[in-house]
Structure 1
Amino acid sequence: MASKEATVYIVDCGMTMGETSHGRAQTNLDWALEYVWDRITATIATGRKTAMAGVVGLRTDGTSNFLESESEYANITVFQDIGQVFMAQVRRLRGELVVSSTDAGDAMSALIIAIQMIVNTCKKLKYERKIVLITDARGSMQADDLEAVVEKLKEDATQLVVLGVDFDDPEYGFKEEDKPTSKAENEAILKQLCQDCGGTFGTLAQAVDELSVPRVKSVRPTPSYKGSLTLGNPQEFDTALSIDVERYPKTMTAPAQSASRFVVRSDLAPSEVMQATQTLDGEAAPNGYSEGLSAVKNALSYQVDDENAPGGKRDIDRDELAKGYEYGRTAVHISESDRNVTTYETVPSFDIIGFVDKSQYERWMDMTRAALTIAQRGNDKAIMALSSFIHALYELESYAVARLVKKENNEPRIVLVAPCIEPDLECLYDVELPFTEDLRSYKFPPLDRIITVSGKELKVHRNLPNEDLQAAMSDYVDSMDLATFGTNDEGEPTEYMPMDETFSPMLHRIQQVIKHRAVFPESEPPPPADVLVRYSHSPAELVQQSKSALSRVVKAADVKKVPPKARGRRFGRGKEAPKPLSDLDVGALLAKDMKRKRRRIDPDNAIPEFKQLIDAQDTEEALDVVHDACKQFKDIICDWIKHSVGNSGYGRAIEGIRVMRENMAEIDEAGFFNEVLRDIKAKLLGGELGDGRSEMWYMVRVNKLGLLQDQDATNGVSAEEAKAFLTAK
């Protein structure tokens, strides 16, 4: 069960927070709110009712708190009482946390109010209590009650975090020059307060910079097995081994945030509908969504063929259905009363069935993520027994093979058990092993030799690397080594990309965008954090360093540049047709008289003759011949569709449209092809080519044979227009 949390954020809204300092483009308050919004949205994302937060404004124009009758607590406003925070409050706070027109307001008084808010909410219950004070320390500050504040913070175990705008921090490497005397004095008071109560004191710059570094979520583990680890049968033999153990997941996949579907409620007025679609407010909505929104619910209906029912289908209840198991092409029915024969009855167990030498195990046999097994907590006998077993495996350099059943009637799993001995931990790691049907054996030809049809082995061949190429490639790989490319704090070489500093770009980028859009729905999300894209490309310095080694590889491999494929051609300056090795132009022999400007295309050989006719035109004057050929080909395609028996002729028509599209794109005649395709669509959907021919247009959409776009050829259409043409009916 997750622990209860209560956090109060004290945000300084004084007039001085409206200034911009040290070359920043945003005000000090907006800069400070980056941290506040990140922490609050992270709390909202958990969805836990026990994760509560409150917001107090310091040096505000107004006064609103439970001690407002006393002058010491003036210009302090409680914007949000401690409680579960929703998006409605966040968007309201955006309009309230603004720069004020006053410098009056005591930070210590605001701290006392925050302490009292936590006391009123948490009472004597077990909570993780925290107060975060964000200020530039340029207002008045009364330090008379400092000892009482420290004592109360210690008594309630409340953690205090003070983040200052441009506070000095030697460890982070920041020091503000020409600092006002009053700010330096207040900064010293706050630093001493944190030291006395065991809190955290730092500069806001460090806190904001660390926001881009993803936080690793700590999850309370749930045991997947609690029982005995056995060797032999303890029920029959006294010499059998039985140890009480607990098994937990070692690693888990962190899934990305999933989207939810919702609909606007139909019982709202038009103005309410517009508001509901623009804001996700209303935390009190009973269905978990915002006011005006409802979750999408799935409804299943089952139908069977019935000639007497309307439409030939009849709805039936789920209770009338029976389960069938596919056996070949036959459905085999097994009644509920006989379902027990399909259940493999097992009992929870963790039995060692053998041992294997460490050197004989191949890592590619791992089937699942790892889990760890420890002795039962508080059981000294089990701890000692398991420790002895772990040390025995470690000293003999062996692994154990065990049969694992997590729960009753679960399928048995075969796992490999490996020992782990660390200064503060002794445990067993296990991964699932494959059964026979899980293994797939594939044979590939060897990489270091070529075997001819006659069985002869060749060590030297044009497809095999020679010694120069192997040496050059080895040097290139060594020059790109990341193992020692990085440097540590002492300047010594270290690993460039340690595992604990690599994060999933997809997972954390989605979280970053959701957080930003939740607070600022009208603005575009910021670019991905540098820590997420740092390892997406090779280091520039390392690439430059390995250029000489790469050039040797290129020279040794005799790499030649492949000319880019021509995007299109116009008459008289296009690409030449490939010349056959025999110098025999088969196309010219098969073609009819290509010198005639007007030639009829034979419907029985339409596609080859159309391609021959287009390829034979090499002058601008032949453009009318191309247009005439396209018109003939269009009529032939329409005739194929019109006289198609069912969909038997659709495949030939699709191929014809594809050939025409490719050839028109090649000679930059996108406009004429688009006219032809529009005409085909109009006739097809208008019924001129016969009734029930809409499936043909579906095939056009599936094969993506839409209008030619600007990126395909000159005079094409935009991507939006091409998409609309395919989807419109």
Structure 2
Amino acid sequence: MADKEATVYIIDLGKSMGKANNGRSESDLDWSMRYVWDRISTTVAASRKTWTVGVIGLRTDLTDNNEDAAGLDGYENISVLQQIGPLSMTSLKELRPRIAPSNTNNGDAISAIVVAVGMIDSFTKKLKYNRRIVLVTDGKGPMDDDSLEDVSQKLNESNIELTVIGVDFDDPEYGFKEEEKSKLKAKNEKILARLVSQCKDGIYGTMAQAVEELSMPRIKQVRPFKSYDGPLTLGDPEKYPSAMSISVERYFKTKLAHPPSATTVIIKSEHGAGPSQVDEEADEMEGVERSGPSFAGVKQVRTYKVEDPDAPGGKRDVEFESLAKGYEYGRTVVPISESDWNITKLETKKSFTILGFIPFSSYEPFLNMGEAGIIIAQKFNERAELALSSFVNALYELESYAIARYVAKDGQNPLLVLLIPSPKLESETECLYDIPLPFAEDVRSYQFPPLDKVITANGPVTSNHRLLPDENLQKAMSDYVDAMDLSGFAVDDEGKPSEYAPLDESYNPIIHRINQAIRQRAVHPERPIEPAAGILLRYSKPPEDLVAQAKTQIEALIKHSDVKKVPPKAKGKRKRETIKPISGLDVDALLGQKKKIKITMENAVPEFKQMLASAEQISTIENATKQMGGIVLNLIRASSGSSNYDRAAENIRVMREELISLEEPELYNKFLRDLKDKLFKGDLGGDRRDLWRQKIVGLGLNLITQQESEASEVTEADAKKFEK
């Protein structure tokens, strides 16, 4: 099939397309453009010069097409908005404002199709192209069906696929029918349906189905990539005539898919980055089209330094070419220069050699190391096909796998692969599948205690223990697993049970979510990114209906496993246990001491701790923190130079430790933000910024982060940014 494509979109811009119908909040044009923008942006993202697009406006205020320019009648109110050609972000940006409802309802859709056919024939000539015309309309404009047969014949002669998608068109297969339809629209729907039926390649549908299917990710069609072409050997054919050698080809069966990669750029405003801020060599990004705000690529430069007492600053720059790789050997470093590096490389040659065979039972699936390949006989080589078929069937009948050493190219590192036979009895293609196997260094052997027995400290083994499940718990868990079975939860078109999560419908949410965001931002840069499609989140949690059906099994499992809800942590309570007298008496009450309600500057630290120790409410902790914070500010304000800095820092340190213990980090963080604001504004007796650098940052009295207290909302990055 041709790899070149020429697609023309005919978009109805009539006055009626500017209205919202059937309970929708957006106009028919905006609703329809969801589908068109998605298709166009996908073509732009592919960035292939052979995928060309043209756009025609139907029922426009102006007329701009070759047929009307040639003096032909019936082509009024049809405008070519985008000539056929590769579409870029710049042309997409220019096209967006031209897609708007007009002030007329005149314009013939059949004539617009004729204009599109002329554009495609003129552009593609007799070359091999996939030709498509996509018509999007609400069917409320006048249509002339006198030349319908001639138009369909021309479409068939030019091998053009016609797709008609109508706004609120009746579609019995999809299950949609518009009530109280006008006679004109009903007539136009019949005309367009008849035209599509007369085409060899024609699709007729309603816009509701097209918009609904936008959430379904489109899998990128990948061409077969040949990773090996050569002999598959058993023995050495050069030495022994009896050795096996089969000419085979290897292709990828599974390969890791990656989300699109991003390039680091800098936005350049009119008065922003100049030559001193942006590297001129990186200003133009090769192969990247610039659209919207001017941007430039960022050039990364790495420098290498070594300690040199004689150099300015104690360090000296060195050239990259003078560096050597050093490897730790005990407590010393062994350098290996670039010229000696070849001694570490294996001198391998391209080969695919079978080392031996193992039975099916000797292989564990968890040993699979990565991407699988498929091995078939060399094309148009009957001898190789017969030999590989014999080998595959022999392995299958003997229930054996083959172990092979695989080197894709000369000089590449070798791989050990497992060859799995796939005869024609089990698949359409008679082939071998290969899976990479681990080397000894790749295997991690961990020892875990058994789940079905407990080995006591004295040595005896017991199967009846509080840490082992009893019969009731095992039965409850077994029933729960059976109740949550997904293999037959879904229902197919015939109403029969089917698999809920088939492999061909399990899409990578990261890849498709990023692609969705890129398309939306490219078409509508000013709008927020829409939520992720439901199909991408489908398998992020179990089906609600299935959970409801398994409610009885879940309750039984909770009962027999004695699952209890963990109460939330009580804020304002110390993690460490308060030491109480053995007698249980309140020593403070016996001594007649009252609970502190005010903290003095002369004895701030012990009084602050005493007040927190007797706190029973959050308000008491807040009051103590507020008083302590006021004392710190007064100390800084009254300080002569740095005379009071140590006392202030000690008070801050105590406040920080106590509030971490009480799980009230936000009280401290709020105080510290207020302190920094006052310090840098000069509200505490002049320039006190040296206190921030020397005491707060120097002594590690920054914001309390999530790593220090679970109740904090401050991350490590936020804290580092704050202390600058």
Q: TM-score category by the smaller chain? A: 0.7 to 0.9
Q: Which residue of 2 aligns with 1:124?
A: 126
Q: Which residue of 2 aligns with 1:236?
A: 239
Identity %: 45
Deviations 1:470-506 (A, max 9, x none): 1112112212221222111111222222222222222
Distance 1:240 1:694, change over 3 A: farther
Q: Which residue of 2 aligns with 1:278?
A: none
Within the candidate set 341, 355, 358, 1:356 is matched to: 358
Q: Which residue of 1 aligns with 2:722?
A: 727
Q: Which residue of 1 aligns with 2:113?
A: 111
Q: Which residue of 2 aligns with 1:544?
A: 548
Q: Secondary structure at the match of 2:174?
A: coil
Q: Which residue of 2 aligns with 1:42?
A: 42
Within the candidate set 513, 516, 523, 1:512 is matched to: 516
Per-residue deviation, 1:292: 2.3
Within the candidate set 464, 475, 486, 2:490 is matched to: 486
Per-residue deviation, 1:622: 10
Taking the aligned partners of 2:665 and 2:47, their CA distance within structure 1 comes to 59
Distance 1:312 1:693, change over 3 A: farther
Distance 1:89 1:284, change over 3 A: farther
**Stretch of structure 1 that moved more, 48-57 or 308-317:** 308-317
Q: Which residue of 2 aligns with 1:154?
A: 156
Within the candidate set 278, 302, 305, 1:300 is matched to: 302
**Contact (CA 8 Å) 1:356, 1:398: kept in 2 or not?**
yes
Distance 1:191 1:632, change over 3 A: closer
Per-residue deviation, 1:609: 10
Matched to 2:67, the amino acid is L
Matched to 2:658, the amino acid is M
- Are residue 224 (structure 1) and residue 198 (structure 2) matched? no
Q: Which residue of 2 aligns with 1:382?
A: 384
Q: Secondary structure at the match of 1:7?
A: strand
Per-residue deviation, 1:632: 9.2
Distance 1:583 1:257, change over 3 A: farther
Per-residue deviation, 1:283: 12
The 5 A counterparts of 1:412-561 are: 412-421=414-423, 422-561=426-565
**Contact (CA 8 Å) 2:676, 2:692: kept in 1 or not?**
no
Taking the aligned partners of 1:525 and 1:691, their CA distance within structure 2 comes to 41
Q: Secondary structure at the match of 2:420?
A: strand
**Contact (CA 8 Å) 1:287, 1:294: kept in 2 or not?**
no
Distance 1:322 1:283, change over 3 A: closer
**Stretch of structure 1 that moved more, 157-166 or 410-419:** 157-166
Q: Secondary structure at the match of 1:214?
A: coil
Gapped runs of 5+ residues in structure 1? Answer: 274-281, 570-574, 644-650, 713-717
The 5 A counterparts of 1:156-195 are: 156-195=158-197
Matched to 1:390, the amino acid is V
Q: Secondary structure at the match of 1:117?
A: helix
Matched to 2:129, the amino acid is Y
Distance 1:577 1:304, change over 3 A: closer
**Contact (CA 8 Å) 2:669, 2:704: kept in 1 or not?**
no
Q: Secondary structure at the match of 1:73?
A: coil
Per-residue deviation, 1:361: 0.7
**Contact (CA 8 Å) 1:289, 1:295: kept in 2 or not?**
no
Per-residue deviation, 1:228: 0.8
Per-residue deviation, 1:695: 5.5
Taking the aligned partners of 2:571 and 2:2, their CA distance within structure 1 comes to 60
**Contact (CA 8 Å) 1:225, 1:248: kept in 2 or not?**
yes
The 5 A counterparts of 1:192-231 are: 192-198=194-200, 199-231=202-234
**Contact (CA 8 Å) 2:622, 2:667: kept in 1 or not?**
no
Distance 1:724 1:458, change over 3 A: closer
Taking the aligned partners of 1:675 and 1:403, their CA distance within structure 2 comes to 63
Q: Which residue of 2 aligns with 1:572?
A: none
Taking the aligned partners of 1:556 and 1:329, their CA distance within structure 2 comes to 56
Per-residue deviation, 1:134: 1.2
Matched to 1:659, the amino acid is E
Distance 1:173 1:669, change over 3 A: closer
Within the candidate set 119, 132, 135, 1:133 is matched to: 135
Per-residue deviation, 1:568: 3.2
Distance 1:608 1:416, change over 3 A: farther
Gapped runs of 5+ residues in structure 2? Answer: 275-282, 637-641, 644-648
The 5 A counterparts of 1:650-729 are: 656=654, 658-663=656-661, 666=664, 673-674=671-672, 678=676, 686=688, 696=698, 700=702, 727=722, 729=724
Per-residue deviation, 1:510: 1.8
Distance 1:187 1:566, change over 3 A: same
Matched to 1:98, the amino acid is A
Distance 1:271 1:73, change over 3 A: farther
Deviations 1:87-145 (A, max 9, x none): 23223322212112222212222112111212222222222221111122232223343
Per-residue deviation, 1:678: 4.8
Q: Which residue of 2 aligns with 1:10?
A: 10
Matched to 1:289, the amino acid is R
Q: Secondary structure at the match of 1:243?
A: strand
Distance 1:596 1:25, change over 3 A: closer
Distance 1:450 1:95, change over 3 A: same
Deviations 1:181-208 (A, max 9, x none): 3333332332232222222122222111
Within the candidate set 612, 624, 649, 1:614 is matched to: 612
- Are residue 60 (structure 1) and residue 60 (structure 2) matched? yes
Q: Which residue of 1 aligns with 2:280?
A: none
Distance 1:217 1:599, change over 3 A: closer
**Contact (CA 8 Å) 2:136, 2:164: kept in 1 or not?**
yes
Taking the aligned partners of 1:725 and 1:341, their CA distance within structure 2 comes to 45
Distance 1:99 1:676, change over 3 A: closer
**Contact (CA 8 Å) 2:327, 2:333: kept in 1 or not?**
yes
Taking the aligned partners of 1:324 and 1:330, their CA distance within structure 2 comes to 9
Number of matched pairs: 691
Deviations 1:12-49 (A, max 9, x none): 11222223332222222112111100000111111222
Taking the aligned partners of 1:383 and 1:587, their CA distance within structure 2 comes to 94
Q: Which residue of 2 aligns with 1:315?
A: 317
Distance 1:688 1:318, change over 3 A: closer
Q: Secondary structure at the match of 1:233?
A: coil
**Contact (CA 8 Å) 1:243, 1:375: kept in 2 or not?**
yes
Taking the aligned partners of 1:594 and 1:695, their CA distance within structure 2 comes to 39
Task: State the TM-score, normalized to the length of structure 2.
Answer: 0.84
**Contact (CA 8 Å) 2:232, 2:248: kept in 1 or not?**
yes
Per-residue deviation, 1:564: 2.2
Per-residue deviation, 1:348: 0.6
Taking the aligned partners of 1:413 and 1:35, their CA distance within structure 2 comes to 46
Taking the aligned partners of 1:322 and 1:418, their CA distance within structure 2 comes to 44
Matched to 1:27, the amino acid is S
Q: Secondary structure at the match of 1:67?
A: helix
**Contact (CA 8 Å) 2:247, 2:384: kept in 1 or not?**
yes
Q: Which residue of 2 aligns with 1:257?
A: 260
Taking the aligned partners of 1:158 and 1:188, their CA distance within structure 2 comes to 21
**Contact (CA 8 Å) 2:59, 2:78: kept in 1 or not?**
yes
Q: Secondary structure at the match of 1:401?
A: strand
- Are residue 408 (structure 1) and residue 406 (structure 2) matched? no
Distance 1:11 1:656, change over 3 A: same
